[in-house]
Structures are given as structure tokens and as C-alpha cells.
Amino acid sequence: MDFAFTEDQQTITQAARDMLLETCTPAGLRKMLEQNQALDAARWATITEMGLPGMLAPEAAGGLGLGLSDFIAIAEAAGYAGLPEPLVELAGVAVPLLAEFHDDRGWLARAAAGEIIAVGHAANPFVTDADIAAALLLGHGNEVHLLAPEAVVLTRQESVDPFRRLFRVDWAPGPETRVAASWGLTAERGALFAAAQMIGLGQRCIDLGVAYAKDRNQFGKPIGSYQAVKHLLASAQVKIEFARPVVYAAAAELDLASLPARARAAHAKIAAGEAADLAARSALQVFGAMGMTWEVDLHFFLKRALALKFAWGTPALHRGTVLSRITSLATGPDATFAAELAR
């Protein structure tokens, strides 16, 4: 029992985090929007060179052969940076799915090398980044189909988060497009990594709020010296502190695929969503009217959090999973860990 990242994990996370924070700045985000870019090619090249898209792919496919726990804090850092590129969806969702296929038709290696694979799972009404995907994994009943971009018709659906590139995908399944009979744990991995991003987003909102509260004076002193402002931000930080370990635990347990493991991912999604929501709204209150403007960076993170809260299963759906876990399986202090319940 060791609930801490290994040194290796810390090293790779720190490197990825440093790279993301250095290359992905709010100023850069604004520039991408002005130039209507979906992807920063230089950053994506760096991400790919670091091997991040293939972290969870087996070494045979050119990946690093690592597990969910190795990538979870990188997903958190991607949220913290407000990363617009679909690294988390590619490395955390598409790659593990491709790795489960009997025949991935070569796409696992291509994904691990940074080619974007869009994932159209029934949990989400639209497909993100479908317009920049080299291939699309789409659902037909329970089946997974693999489509080439030429074989689908895309209709853009504007999101409040301009970096969320949502599309309705019209396509026709055929025997030749079918690649798998089921999605496995795709929905749970989607929820888990959305949760990780939300932890990062929430923490970023708090950090922005704290910086502003130190700087902004009203009634002759920094607003951060008022108890009301302090307590707003402190309460949000408490929410983050008790959501983050759930996310990390869910990453460590999900591969067990049991109900306790799936309930943990559900819990992670609920808790991270609430924490990010509270953090974003608390920071907004600290920023005051400035926070409502396009000029201040807060909205990039607030809007991403809003969208991710409902992506990969609503809070209501995930609550249902938790409720069925606690009413059908043992609870209590010796029933905390999924691995122990699986014995």
C-alpha cells in the first residue's frame, strides 16, 4: 500500500507539466483563437517527441507501456494549462481503446506517434476534434467502428469553450468499418481523465484568484486580506484537496474493471466537477466584474470546467453508479480499496 507517485512518475509528470505551462500560455491561447487554429503545431510536435500520446500504448506499438496512474497527473497538468490540443483524449482514451482491439489496423502505433483519433462514444452527443482527426472511432449499438475522415460528414456545434471543437458526425456503418464488439472501459477512462483535467482547471482558477486578491486593493487594502475573500478561496481549496486523491485512486484502480473501481471513477468525476465548479465561481467572485470579461484569463478555465462537468456522463449518471456500488457491495473501513474487494 503506497498512495504516492513513484520517482519515475514524478519525473515524467514534472517534465510534461513544465513543458505544458511554458508552451501553453493564455496569451498563446488568445493568439490561436485570433488565427482560428485548432492545434499549435510546434507544441504538438513537442508533445509527440516526449512520447506523451503513446504513454499508455505497449512498447511494441512504439509506446511507453505505462499505466493510467502514470498519465493521471499529466492530464491534471493539461487541465491546469488549459491545453487546447486533445492530448488527454488521445493518450488517455483513444490509445487504451485501440490497445484492446484484436486488430487495430495499425492505428495504435499511429496514435502513439501523435496522429489524432477522434472518439465518438455514446456518453457524449458530439465528437470532439473530429475535424483534425486522422481516423474516427464511432459507436453503432455497442460496436466500435473505425472511419476515415473522408467517410464521414461533420457539422460543427459551437461550444461556449471555443477550444472544444464539437461535431455531429454523420456516417454509415459497414462490416468493413467494424473493429470491436464493445467499448470496454472507454466511458470510465473518459470520465477519469475529464476529472483529472477538472482538478487542474479548478486549481488554476484558485491560483488566478489568489494572485488577483493579493494585487487588487479596495477600501485601502488588498481584497485578499478580507476574511470573506479568504474563506471563499479556502473553501474551494478544501474541495480540491478531497477530490484529487479520489482521482488518483481511480486511476490506480480502474483497470480492475470491477464495480468498486467503476464507482471510484464515478466518484472522481462527481467530486472533481464540483470542486472545479466551486473553484471557478469563487475565483470569479474574487475577480469581480473583471472576471466576467474576455480580457481576464479566468474564463478559459471556467468554460472548460463547465463543459467537462457534463462530458463523459453527467453527475446524475455517476451518482447512480455509486449508489449501486454501496447498496450491492460491502462498505466500511476494510472495504476501501478495489483491489482488496476483488480478492
Partner 1 sequence: MKLEYTDEQRAFRAEVRKWMAENVPAEPLASFDLTREGFEAHRLWERKLNDGRWGMVTWPEALGGRNLDLIRWLIFEEEYYRAGAPTRVNQNGIFLLGPTMMEFGTEEQKSRFLPRMAAGEDIWAQAWSEPGAGSDLAGVSATATLDGDHYILNGQKIWSSRAVFADWAFGLFRAPGSERHKGMSLVLFPLDAPGVTRRPIARMDGELVFAEIFLDDVRVPVANRLGDEGQGWNVCMATAGFERGLLLRSPARYQVAASKLVALYEAHKQDLPASMGERVAQNWMDAEAYALAIYAMCSRLNAGGKIGPESSTNKIFWSEMDIAMTQTALEILGPRAELMPQAPDAGDVGDWLEDYIFALAGPIYAGSNEIQRNIIAERMLGLPRG
Taking CA atoms, 329 is separated from 1, 68, 185, 289, 320, in Å, by 22, 25, 20, 48, 14
Q: How many residues of this chain bind partner 1 (CB under 8 A)?
A: 95
Instruction: Pick one of 29, 77, 252, 283: the residue that binds partner 1 (CB under 8 A).
Output: 252
Q: In which residue are the cell numbers 476501501 written?
A: 336
> What are the angstrom distances between the C-alpha of 261 and each of 235, 248, 317, 322?
28, 12, 16, 10
State the binding partner of 16 from a second copy, partner 1, none, CB within 5 to 8 A by kind: none
In the bound state with partner 1, the residue whose beta carbon lies nearer, of 90 and 280, is: 280
Regarding 285 and contact with a second copy (CB under 8 A), the answer is: no
Residue 222 binds which of a second copy, partner 1, none (CB < 5-8 A, kind-dependent) = partner 1
The nearest distance, CB 232 to partner 1, in angstroms, is 9
Tell whether residue 316 is a contact of a second copy (CB under 8 A). Answer: no
Q: In angstroms, rounded to a whole number, what is the distance separating the alpha carbons of residues 81 and 17?
A: 8
Nearest 5°: the CA angle 54, 73, 164 is 75
Q: Distance (Å, rounded) from C-alpha 121 to C-alpha 142? A: 10
Look at the chain and count its residues: 343
Pattern 116-155, partner 1, x by CB under 8 A: -------xxxx----------------------------x
Q: Is 4 in the site for partner 1 (CB under 8 A)?
A: yes
Q: Which of residues 21-60 bind partner 1 (CB under 8 A)?
A: none
Strand partners of residue 157: 166
Task: Fill in the DSSP letter of residue 305.
Answer: H
Looking at residues 228 to 257 of the shown chain, list those that interact with a second copy (rule: CB under 8 A): 228, 231
* Binder among 53, 169, 224, 269 for partner 1 (CB under 8 A): 224
- Closer residue to a second copy, CB minimum distance, 36 or 227: 227
Q: Which residues of 194-228 are buried (b: 16+ CB within 10 A; e: fewer)?
A: bbbbbbbbbbbbbbbbbebbeeeeeeeeebbeeee
235 binds partner 1 (CB under 8 A): yes
Q: Which does 175 bind (CB under 5 to 8 A by kind): a second copy, partner 1, none?
A: none
**DSSP code at position 113:** T
Pick from 104, 6, 5: which is nearest to 54 by CA?
Answer: 104
Q: Are 247 and 196 in contact (CB under 8 A)?
A: yes
Q: Which does 125 bind (CB under 5 to 8 A by kind): a second copy, partner 1, none?
A: partner 1
**Considering the complex, what minimum distance in angstroms separates the CB of residue 202 from a second copy?**
23
Considering only residues 198 through 227, tell me which ones interact with a second copy, judged by CB under 8 A.
226-227
Contact positions vs a second copy (CB under 8 A): 226-228, 231
